[in-house]
Amino acid sequence: MTQHTAPDLFESGLFDGTRFYDTFAWYRANDPVSWQQPAAEPDGFWSVTRYHDVVAVHRDTVRMSSTEGMRLGSNAHAVDAVANKMLIVSDPPDHTRMKRVLIRPFSNEILARVEQHVGEVVAAVVADALRDGRPDLLQHLKRIPTDVICAIMRLPRSDWAWIGAKTTEAFESPSEVERLVANSEIFKYFYDLVHENRRSGQNEFVNEVTALIAERDDTVTDEELVFNFAGILAGGNETTRYTLAALTLQLCENPAQWQRIRDGEVELASATEEGLRWSVPGMHVMRTAVEPVQLGQARVEAGQRVVTWIGSANRDPEVFDDPDTFDVGRAGNRHLSFGAGRHLCLGSRLARLEITAYLRALRGTVTSFELTGDPRYNGSNFTWGLNELPVRLRS
């Protein structure tokens, strides 16, 4: 991308497709830590596009705070309500205290018990997709993370479709009011769940978490449980769905890569990591400096916001060979799709389990993919991905 003036990160429609990768490439080469002050963000922010600078921001929990919000366009009142009560907008020691408890349901021990269930859910979804003539494969794929996370949290089966729809609305609705209402409904759902369980004790997931709190002599309030259960739901739903969709589209558009998987030439684990690197469902993450920080050639002052672009870091040629090529056999894949440092995604192991199970199910039943229309993206610069995937599976 050759031009003398900086491209606009807030250009209308930039994230409706994949053009933003050219924009990121320009910034990496010419202004890797740049000051941005678009009309949509009049207070301005530092934009970070190189891999190593992104990692430095994510790992610095002393000078970089999450409590002022972790995304552009955040509602300040909503952030204030959950700051240091919800993992994604908390700093140590509160973050450490809550994560110590909430990471338990996603330990290797627990996931080993649900691995068979994950495989069964994924196999059923793939079988349904093979039978179904509907052109949008995403209608099937979105069931995988929703069904799995709802099953782990022991939520009633009758609620799963509503939960999936509300989670999508909370992230993707173009209306801020609708996003806030959807988030409120999700919080209310978990508030009712936690408080009903105090009476009945029927939800095993809530029981396991509260037992762990007591065992460790930790203190986690009901309010914190509600906020973080909502966070677990969101983290296990939207991002995995977008990775599954992006991975499927790449296998469709690169049949030689799919053949490498079918022939057993590459490990499913490496194909999973490349799907994660390529899809980048969490496009940016924001921090706020609490004291001056030197970042590359830029001096970040206390109180200024810093936005790291994961989508750019995952294509940084200083770290990834031939980064714009989809390669299911890529070795040493150090992508940042789950973040880095203390805020590394709580559900990263579960996401990998689901994606690998999906590839295994495809390898056992699918010979090829048929693209029947134009894929459509949601246009978000935060939780980015496909919202229409006109692909049919062929056995």
Nearest to 330 by CA among 249, 261, 283, 253: 261
CATH code of the domain covering residue 359: 1.10.630.10
Q: What 3-state DSSP class applies to 219?
A: coil
pLDDT at position 196: 85
pLDDT at position 99: 81
pLDDT at position 21: 97
**What is the distance between the alpha carbons of residues 172 and 170, in angstroms, rounded to a whole number?**
6
- Tell whether 389 is covered by a domain: yes
pTM for the model: 0.87
- Tell whether 1 is covered by a domain: no
Percent of the chain exceeding pLDDT 70 equals: 96
- Tell whether 3 is covered by a domain: no
- Tell whether 154 is covered by a domain: yes
Mean of the pLDDT values across residues 367-373?
Answer: 93
Summarised one tens digit per residue, pLDDT across range 65-124 is 999 988 998 878 888 888 887 788 888 888 887 787 777 767 777 777 778 888 888 998
CA 62 to chain centre: 24
pLDDT at position 63: 95
- Tell whether 7 is covered by a domain: no
- Tell whether 5 is covered by a domain: no
**pLDDT of 2 strictly over 60:** no
pLDDT band per the 50, 70, 90 thresholds, residue 233:
confident
Nearest to 235 by CA among 337, 127, 361, 346: 346
- CB count, 10 Å around CB of 356? 21
Residue 93: cis peptide before it, omega within 30 degrees of 0: yes
Structural contact between residues 305 and 36, judged by C-beta atoms closer than 8 angstroms: no
For 47-50, which contacts have Cβ atoms below 8 Å and span 24 or more sequence positions?
47/9, 47/307, 47/309, 48/295, 48/296, 48/306, 48/307, 48/308, 48/309, 49/24, 49/309, 49/312, 49/313, 49/316, 50/296, 50/312, 50/313, 50/316, 50/318
Number of domains in the chain: 1
Cα of first residue to Cα of last residue in the chain, in angstroms, is 40
Summarised one tens digit per residue, pLDDT across range 174-221 is 787 888 888 889 888 888 888 888 888 788 777 777 776 666 556 667
pLDDT at position 105: 66
Nearest to 282 by CA among 345, 231, 191: 345
Q: Which domain holds residue 266?
A: 20-394
Structural contact between residues 67 and 330, judged by C-beta atoms closer than 8 angstroms: no
- Tell whether 219 is covered by a domain: yes
pLDDT at position 341: 85
Kind and range of the H or E run holding 58: helix 51-59
- Tell whether 11 is covered by a domain: no
Structural contact between residues 121 and 127, judged by C-beta atoms closer than 8 angstroms: no
Per DSSP, 104 falls in state G
**What is the distance between the alpha carbons of residues 87 and 99, in angstroms, rounded to a whole number?**
7
For 95-98, which contacts have Cβ atoms below 8 Å and span 24 or more sequence positions?
95/61, 95/66, 95/342, 95/343, 96/342, 97/218, 97/219, 97/220, 98/220, 98/224, 98/228
